[in-house]
Structure 1
Amino acid sequence: MGETTPLLELANLDVRFDTADGEVHAVRGINLTVAPGETLAVVGESGSGKSQAMMAAMGLLAKNGRATGSVRYRGREILGLPARALDEIRGAKIAMIFQEPMTSLDPLYTIGNQLAEPLMRHKRLGAKAARQRAVELLTLVGIPDPERRLRAYPHELSGGQRQRVMIAMALAAEPDVLIADEPTTALDVTVQAQILELLRSLQQRFHMGIVFITHDLGLARHFADRVAVMRYGQVVEEGPALRVLTRPEHDYTRMLLAAEPTGTKAPPPDDAPIVLEARAIDVTFQIGGGLLAGPPLEIRAVDKVSVTLKQGQTIGIVGESGSGKSTLGRALIRLIHSEGDIRLFGQPIGGLDAAGLRALRRQVQIVFQDPYGSLSPRMTVGEIVSEGLRVHEPQLDARTREQQVIAALEDVTLDPSLRNRYPHEFSGGQRQRIAIARAIVLKPRVLVLDEPTSALDRSVQKGIVELLRRLQREYGLSYLFISHDLSVVRALSDWIMVMRRGQLVEAGPTEEVYGAPAAAYTRELIAAAYGLTDAQEGAASAGN
């Protein structure tokens, strides 16, 4: 590893927050070190304190937070430094990449302006030199046509490109320590692999120490040299990554590893009735155009894709962002316009008016990726779950409606006595259960599940997967499960559809597709998702 003196050292670090409900003790006297050229993964579930520990180290705690203990950079105490002195280190020597670049990048400024700012501040470059260096940084992180991208705004870039811009900004001053806080959570598996490979190559080039904060133990095992496992603000286990994540000593680490989605789903009987059938579905979007701009640009988001879904079946639809998988899901239930033939329960729906569609839609419901965005913050949980009943069964009296809401909440193992609370009072996993309750209260036959677990911890994901399995068994539900998480799709689905650039590249029984993928693109996806090599596994089993 070269040098042994830590670049960053946290000693007896304690973080507390003053809240309306009293003091919250977020980090409880932890000790961590990062050496030059080393990657330390800090893993744990949401609320474990892993991000707050690093925010404290950077001096970025919220106003109601306070930190005690010690944070040393190259032996110098930096905890409690005045803002002016800390600014000479923060960004220049210790940089941070945040989880969601859209909330970290200013939507009102171009990428070029945002890249130039740290260069002008920390490197004292003039505007022209800063622009030239910004082009070099975008090239370094693998963004094509960097000159043009400097003029782009964040919303004009893909998720992977925005994350690369965040990395470029963090590297602008060539820091010694890079703190990466869940930098790949919302990215597709192939983009995840590219971002991690990029970080690894940049680490070797600059000999940086990296703190990699994640709840994905697979990524930690693949990417880190050492792992620290946090729970309730404490480090419960620490050691070489392959040892900790293959032969854990602490019960909590073993629980996290056991939370990886497992199991397989049996296909429905051959004579199971078809509930949804679609042939040659096309979806085209028009972008831009106008009197001065010329004709609009046509993008074919879904190109001649066919689907047959049986009662009790789960079809997993996988692919990268922009592959058309979510667009296909929306087209199949007529949330967006499409060309092609769609039949629900044997009935063509292409020519149905709004009233006819409404009658069918109570049988087909959708659960979205972000429950916090899809649940109204102004409505109680009871009002949210009962909304569909008010639309589709207006004849129900208030007492009957409330009984059905209670039954739906019990179905998703939520306490019905909490139904008068609001969404912000629940955890991410609980909010997703509320979204599922809202869908199943109407007793549908088909559920479209659009990335319902991608933002959740693995242990919470496992609970949602088990819930969906139970609901399917009890009610004979059919699922279209849209996701870029191949391990969750594998655990839930009996049939896989792989999409790329709007086209279906491969389809078949789940274990056949995973075990012997026919398409090169499918092999690429699977390799990115299950990227740990046999050699690494062998090294772990031999002792680390």
Structure 2
Amino acid sequence: MAPIFKLTDMHVRFDTPDGEVHAVCGTSMHVDPGETVAVVGESGSGKSQIMMAAMGLLSSNGRAQGSARFRNQELLGLSPRKLNQLRGKKITMIFQEPMTSLDPLYRIGDQLIEPMIEHEGLSARRARARALELLKLVMIPEPERKLRAYPHELSGGQRQRVMIAMALSGDPDLLIADEPTTALDVTIQAEILALLAQLQKKLGMAILFITHDLTIVEAFADRVYVMRKGAVMEEGPVTRIFADPQHAYTKMLLAAEPHGRKDPVPSAPVLLQADGVRVTFTRSKGLFGHDELCAVDGLDIQLREGQTIGIVGESGSGKSTFGRALLQMLPSEGTVVFQGARISGLDRSAMRKHRKALQMVFQDPYGSLSPRMTVGEIITEGLLVHQPELSGRDREARAAEALKAVGLEANMRNRFPHEFSGGQRQRIAIARAVILRPKVVVLDEPTSALDRSVQAQVIELLRDLQREFGLSYIFISHDLAVVRALSDTVIVMKEGKVVEQGPVDRIFDAPQSAYTRELIEAAFRLNTVLDRAAARA
């Protein structure tokens, strides 16, 4: 059987201020019809750039050589008009960072409908009905309302599900999925993967799955390619790779799991306290006016010096909204006190003196990094505002130190955000926050786009910074293994409310709530969910 998609001796290079970067070095791989092939490797290994090159989506400073063939048609060098006859219909792609792929000026429904009208010739009415059907398919709550919503009104996980719906709209022959479940909690992740497995059986499509999550690979893929520094280290059937890996790098990836526990915090002063925090959003009801959505409903929190509070819950539960409300980044009710001073209700100017001590790492790093600034400028921007007495040389030294601390090279500070992988951008966002030596850092899914080996490095980095500078963290994540490794206390949220909270070991070892038990069990039942989905299909 001839491959549906084949890459031969692919090279991808980028021109940067520091010279040429050889991101992909002579890589070859193939996908057969109806097959699921996974590509795994550390952040920056070239996984995504191979597919961006094949789809004609490289940035302006990038160039590709070699061959990328879809059903024996060469894609490299194909005109945009001919590529567009394939992209969005025969070949579709789920991108890693949905906020950068969705137009912020258009409603979700319009963005789903447009490609169906363009590629399938559907009427506007039929396309709208199909869009609603797709949102239901990917299990987005209140799908009729979400069709009228803008991207910023959806959670990160909901935006990612919209991208999955968009990719599936044309019943593609080949689906390229670049970290499609990164921002999804474990319950939704299992449901989405089960859905993809069912649709693959039904439509006969092939899936090329780019991911750093080896649990997903083992449960979902037929074959796997392991990449590092732009080259394939090892490839083969999933069962063989996981049972008998041959390459040392593959063995390291399989062994790299979050481990250890955070040092316990003795009785320490309360640094940040919130009481009755409530966040509501006004949302449109179309012709029938407006109503209110209560995203956070009367939450309390008490964060001590050197403590880490983990917040978990499904996508759309209000985790990120709560984190932003604590730092006064959006309007809220209730009281927030930081170091004895009430900060709730302060305007932007009055909050400025507190910003150095209160930092946030955002869930979508690309959306929070200015595309017009170099990484060095981005990281040191806070120093210019909060420590203007530092010389340019001192700022450069601090930037190099921060980059090294998060596992990046100092000379990377001259590059722009688009020249990095998603995982590298996430590390840049962490460096920007910690360079100011804050007191409190709200970390919103800071390790979601990182492979397990780098996750372990970042966890150790966060622990070291916490010990050295007495930092306090509010750690928002759907990755329960990472939460357990980093947290003292865990808060479980659902629909804007606290379902359960307590010491980390008690929450994981003896959860009281049925919802908490469901979250924990879901992290260990992915194979079962996929097996059942395959049986139903």
TM-score per shorter chain, which class?
A: 0.7 to 0.9
Percent of pairs identical after alignment? 53
Q: Is the 8 A contact 1:380 1:423 kept in 2?
A: no
How far is 1:519 from its partner?
A: 1.4
Q: CA distance change for structure 1 residues 11 and 315 in 2, over 3 Å: closer, same or farther?
A: closer
Shift of residue 420 of structure 1? 8.3
Q: Which amino acid aligns with 1:68?
A: G
1:8 equivalent in alignment to 2:35: no
Q: Deviations over 1:94-120 (max 9, x none)?
A: 322222333334445555554444444
Which stretch of structure 1 is more off in the superposition, 176-185 or 187-196? 187-196
Structure 1 residue 36: Cα displacement: 3.2
Distance in 1 between the 2:31 and 2:472 partners? 48
Distance 1:472 1:109, change over 3 A: closer
Distance 2:527 2:498 in 1: 28
CA contact under 8 A between 1:381 and 1:434: conserved in structure 2? no
- What SS does structure 2 have at the residue aligned with 1:243? helix
Indicate how the Cα distance of structure 1 residues 89 and 360 shifts in structure 2: closer, same or farther if over 3 A, else same. closer
Cα distance in structure 1, aligned partners of 2:97 and 2:519: 23
Aligned to 1:71: 69
* Pairs within 5 Å for 1:129-528: 129-143=126-140, 152-269=149-266, 272-276=267-271, 278=273, 280-287=275-282, 297-333=291-327, 338-340=332-334, 342-345=336-339, 364-369=358-363, 377=373, 380=377, 383-387=380-384, 389-390=386-387, 398=390, 406=397, 410=401, 413=404, 424=417, 427-428=424-425, 431-440=428-437, 444-528=438-522
**CA 349–407 in structure 1, closer or farther in 2 if over 3 Å, else same:** same
CA distance in 1, matches of 2:345, 2:171: 60
The AA in structure 2 aligned to 1:207 is: G
SS of 2:436's equivalent?
A: helix
Alignment partners' CA distance in 2, 1:373 and 1:114: 19
TM-aligned CA distance change 1:250 to 1:274, over 3 Å = same
Q: How far does residue 505 in structure 1 lie from its aligned partner after superposition?
A: 1.0
Cα deviation for residue 242 of structure 1 reads 4.0
- In the alignment, which residue of structure 2 is the partner of 1:541? none
Q: Check whether the contact 1:318–1:482 (CA below 8 A) recurs between aligned residues.
A: yes
In structure 1, what residue type is equivalent to 2:511?
A: P
**Which segment is superposed worse, 331-340 or 91-100?**
331-340
Q: Given the two structures, how large is their TM-score scaled by the length of structure 2?
A: 0.80
* C-alpha distance 128-6 of structure 1, shift in aligned 2 (>3 A): same
Which segment is superposed worse, 374-383 or 352-361? 352-361
Give runs of aligned pairs for residues 98-117 of structure 1, distance below 5 A: 98-117=95-114
TM-aligned CA deviation for residue 278 of structure 1: 3.5
Q: Output one character per residue of 1:246-298: Cα deviation in whole Å (capped at 9) or x when no partner.
A: 542212222333443221123223xx1232363642323352599x986x634
Q: Secondary structure at 1:221's aligned position in 2?
A: helix
Q: Secondary structure at the match of 1:305?
A: strand
Q: Give the aligned length.
A: 519
AA paired with 1:274? P
Structure 2 residue runs without a partner (length 5+):
532-537
Please, which moves more after superposition, 328-337 or 229-238? Answer: 328-337
Q: Is the 8 A contact 2:277 2:335 kept in 1?
A: no
Please report the TM-score for the alignment, with normalisation by the length of structure 1: 0.79
Tell me the secondary structure at the aligned position of residue 490 of structure 2: strand
Question: What amino acid sits opposite 1:519 in the alignment?
Answer: S
Structure 1: stretches of 5+ with no match in the other structure:
538-544
Measured after TM superposition, the shift of residue 177 of structure 1 is 1.8
Q: How far has the Cα of 1:228 moved from its partner? A: 0.9
Distance 1:178 1:387 in 2: 45
CA distance in 2: counterparts of 1:264 and 1:16, whole angstroms? 40
Match of 1:380, SS? Answer: helix
**Cross-structure match for 1:94:** 91
Shift in Å at residue 436 of structure 1? 3.5
Between 79-88 and 251-260, the greater mean CA deviation after superposition: 79-88
CA drift at 1:205: 1.2
> Is the CA contact 1:311–1:478 (under 8 Å) kept in the aligned structure 2?
yes
Aligned to 2:240, what secondary structure does the other structure show? helix
Distance 2:409 2:164 in 1: 44
After TM superposition, the structure 1 stretch with the greater mean CA deviation from structure 2, 328-337 or 26-35, is 328-337
Match of 2:26 in 1: 29
**Which has more radius of gyration?**
1
Cα distance between partner residues in 1 of 2:171 and 2:454? 37
SS of structure 2 residue aligned to 1:195: helix
Q: Using a 3 Å threshold, how does the CA distance of structure 1 residues 423 and 386 change in structure 2: closer, same or farther?
A: farther
Change (3 A) 1:135 1:329: closer
CA–CA distance in 1 between the matches of 2:341 and 2:76?
67
CA distance in 1, matches of 2:82, 2:379: 51
Change in 2 beyond 3 A, CA 1:242/1:522:
farther
Cα distance 1:127–1:343, how it changes in 2: closer, same or farther (>3 A)?
closer
Computed over aligned residues only, the root mean square deviation of the Cα atoms, in angstroms, reads 4.1
